[in-house]
Structure formats: structure tokens, C-alpha cells
Amino acid sequence: IVLVFTLSGLNETMENRYVIFSLTALFYPLMVLCNLIVIFTIISQNTLHEPMYVFICNLCINALYGTAGFYPKFMYDLLAEDHVISYVGCMIQIFVIYSSVLCDLSTLTVMAYDRYVAICRPLEYHSIMTNQRVLEWILFCWLTPIFCMSVLIVLTARLTLCGSTIEKLYCEIWAVAKLSCFSTTVNNVFGYIVIMGYFGHAVLIYCSYIQLIRMCIKSIEVRHKFMQTCVPHLLSLFIVAIALFFDVLYSRYGSKNVPQGVRNFMALEFLLITPILNPLIYGLNLSTVRQQLIRLFFKKQVGIAE
């Protein structure tokens, strides 16, 4: 019975651990602060209580949730001599990190649908995107990943393991499954079902954007709206998809010949880039959020009246 796992992802970079720790100690609080500012701005400003901004708020909340499953443990490991994690701690870390990634994908899918309705069916927008519908979408974004990861955790927990070394900076479900003494066919089948389910999300996004691009060709006004609200969404989506693609591809088919620093970056991309980029993209690029940020935090300096 394996009670403790060893994380070997830091083994070849320990000579730089204090530099990495210092950078992480600066980056993590900054990332938390940026997300909290966007969340607080959207919640506190009534003009931002629209579906698109609610979904942006959900992205930022999810970023705080997902990164909390990695950064505190990672910073502890940078200062510790032994990089170990308990079996239960490993399962919790897998659940938090990967449910967060799936929630990101679900939220971005719902945002694509929201943009489609707003631009292609503007007269029906408020009758389709009601408060109840928005709440249902938010629940969908959270409950579907929680269900998928709960099943995968249960399937993984039943495996008898013949090893305890995970070749990553954090626990990852496929890395644990590879330690099994016996067949992991059931895990693989359900894993591919989840992957195909989220590939279905990508198809929905593709269909939404085909319609949006058609509308852009017809109207300059729609083109401006597309550039303002859809381009940030596409950028977020592209980064999440590429990061997840690299992680899944490397976890299953990666070669040990690749330098560990490169492997670590590939594994960390969706925990490093997306959580800081989303609040910056949406907080600074979307003029409505930007104006409310200025109004909220700098009204005295710029002389904006209450």
C-alpha cells in the first residue's frame, strides 16, 4: 500500500530553488491580487452585472481555486529537502487542479455561446440569457468537472500501485495510473470519454465562431463588437487549449530525453500563464471593466464624482 508519493520534478533544478522560490513568491500574490481586483470590481459595480462579466468573474474565481491546489505546496517543496506528498493529499491536488482546468474550458464554452447570442441574436439576448439561465450555466461549469474528476479519483483510488515516484512537480492522474501493477483500461476508457466530452465543447465553440465571423463580414458594427469582446475570449481559449494539449500529450507520450526544465514548463503552463493572463486580458482590454476599475480605485485621483 502506497501512503506517500515522491515528486521528482524538482530534482534537476534544486540549485536554482531560491531564485525560483523568490519569483514564485512575487508571482503568486500578484496573480491572486489581479484576480481579486477583477472579481471585486464586477461584484461591486451594478453596471457589470451582465452575463459576460459574470462568466469573467467565474474564470477569476476558478483561477484562485485551481492555483491554490498547486502554489502553496510547490513553494513548500522548493524549501524542503524531500519532495513528498501523502496519498490523500495527492488525490486532493489532482481533483483541485484538473477540475479547475475543466471548469475553465466549460466557462469559455459558455462565454462563446453568450457572445454568439449577443452578436447574432441581439434582440433575443435578454430573453435567452436570463438570470436563471446564467446560474444554470455557472452550475454546469462547476458540477460537470467535479463529477468527472470524482469518478476518475474513485477509479484511480481502487488501483494497486507498484511504485511511488511521480515525475512531475505535482500529482497528476495519469502519472499515478502509470504506477498501477495491473490493467488501467477502465481508467483509460473513462479518461478518453472525458476528453471527448470536452472536445465536444470545442465543437460548440467552433460553431459559435463560424456564425460570429459570418456576421462580422456583413456588418462593421458587429466587427467592432467582435474585436472588443471576442478576441480576448479567443486568446484565453487558445492559451488554455494549447496548455492542456501539451500537458495531456506529455503525460501520456512524453519522452524522458526532453530536459526537465522544458517538461516542467509544459506541465505548468496552464497554472502559470492562464491565471494571470485572464484578469489582465479582461480587466485591461475590455473598456467597460477598465472604466469601472478606474472609477472604483482611482476616482479621487481622476476627479470622478460619486
**pLDDT for 251:** 66
pLDDT higher than threshold 70 for residue 241 = yes
Q: Per-residue pLDDT tens for 215-235?
A: 777 777 667 767 766 777 777
Closest CA to 280 of 45, 115, 105, 37: 37
Q: Which residues fall within 8 angstroms of residue 150, CB to CB, at 6 or more apart?
A: 95
CATH number for 160: 1.20.1070.10
pLDDT in tens, 261-270: 777 777 777 7
Is 291 contained in some domain?
Answer: yes
Decide if 20 is inside a domain.
Answer: yes
- Average pLDDT over the chain, rounded to whole? 83
Rounded CA separation 74/105 (Å): 24
* Residue 29: per-residue pLDDT: 94
- pLDDT reading at 300 higher than 60: no
Q: What percent of the chain has pLDDT over 90?
A: 27
Residue 256's pLDDT band, with cuts at 50, 70 and 90, is low
Whether residue 32 is predicted with pLDDT greater than 90 in this model: the reply is: yes
More confident residue, 64 or 183: 64
Query: Distance from first CA to last CA of the chain, Å, rounded?
Result: 63
Q: 94-142, pLDDT tens digit by residue? A: 999 999 989 988 998 898 888 888 888 888 888 988 999 999 999 999 9
Predicted local confidence at residue 178, as pLDDT: 85
Residue of higher predicted confidence among 30 and 230: 30
**Residue 159 phi, psi dihedral angles, 5° rounding:** -75, 140
The total of structural domains in the chain comes to: 1
Residue 37 pLDDT: 87
State the angle between helix axes of 287-302 and 51-68 in degrees (0 to 180), rounded to the nearest 10.
80
Q: Which residues of 25-45 are buried (b: 16+ CB within 10 A; e: fewer)?
A: eeebeebbebbebbbebbeeb
Return the DSSP state at 258.
S
Residue 65: the pLDDT is: 95
Instruction: Please give the residue range of the domain that contains residue 147.
Output: 4-301
Long-range contact list for 114-119, CB < 8 A, 24+ apart? 114/51, 114/52, 114/55, 115/52, 115/208, 115/212, 115/229, 115/230, 115/233, 116/208, 116/209, 116/211, 116/212, 118/52, 118/225, 118/229, 119/212, 119/215, 119/222, 119/225, 119/226, 119/230
Beta-bridge partner residues of 161: 180
pLDDT of residue 299: 62
Question: Are the CB atoms for 155 and 190 separated by under 8 Å?
Answer: yes
Q: Identify the weakest region by mean pLDDT among 17-31, 73-87, 184-198, 282-296.
A: 282-296
Q: pLDDT confidence of 255, banded at 50, 70, 90?
A: low
Please report, for residues 132, 173, 191, 192, 202, the alpha-carbon distance to residue 248 in angstroms, rounded to integers and kept in the order given: 35, 10, 11, 11, 16
pLDDT band at 254 (very low <50, low <70, confident <90, very high): low
Domain for residue 171, yes or no? Answer: yes
What does the pLDDT read at residue 91?
93
Is residue 20 within 8 Å of 197, Cβ to Cβ?
no
Angle CA 287–293–296, to nearest 5: 140
Q: How much of the chain, in percent, has pLDDT values that exceed 70?
A: 87
Cα–Cα nearest to 153, from 209, 78, 201, 93: 93
Let me know if 184 is exposed, middle or buried by CB neighbors in 10 A (0-12, 13-18, 19+): middle
The stretch 200-222 carries a mean pLDDT of 78
> What pLDDT does residue 252 have?
61
Average pLDDT over residues 72-100: 91
User: Residue 306 domain-assigned?
Assistant: no
**What pLDDT score was predicted for residue 304?**
45
